[in-house]
Amino acid sequence: MIDIDKQEAEDGKIMAVFAYIIFLIPLFAASDNQFARYHTNQGVVLFLAWLVLTFVGLIIGLVPIIGWILSTILFSAVPLAFLGFAIYGIINVVQLEAKPLPFIGGIILIKSY
């Protein structure tokens, strides 16, 4: 968790929520707000994790029978996990907190400070 000025967090709240829905908007529109950039990073990492897990599911699905079963489970779990992580991130935004997402939140792709 990083230290964020409460006024800056309040100013960047809307863009930070968008970071979990579509990260491109705050990536360019809120480049000067540390709070929004922090959550944009979390949104980008979440999207990339979803992309990687989807690709892994496609590869696993190529294996007959057991691969089909495992990929079906993966394709069911990944969207639910994505939704859960996004909701967790949005709750953090609404509470004006900069908590990292579980498991993947420590990855920094966009420097926010």
- Check pLDDT > 80 for residue 2: no
* Residue-range definition of the domain harbouring residue 39: 6-94
Q: Is residue 112 part of a domain?
A: no
Mean pLDDT on 2-25: 92
More confident residue, 4 or 76: 76
At 4 the pLDDT is 82
Q: Is residue 99 part of a domain?
A: no
Q: Write a three-state SS string for the chain.
A: CCCCCHHHHHHCHHHHHHHHHCCHHHHHHCCCCHHHHHHHHHHHHHHHHHHHHHHHHHHHCCCCCHHHHHHHHHHHHHHHHHHHHHHHHHHHHHCCCCCCCCCCCCCCCCCCC
Residue that has been written with the tokens 């990492």 in this structure = 45
> Domain total for the chain?
1
At 113 the pLDDT is 59
- Check pLDDT > 90 for residue 3: no
Q: Is residue 103 part of a domain?
A: no
At 33 the pLDDT is 93
More confident residue, 3 or 91: 91
- Check pLDDT > 80 for residue 1: no
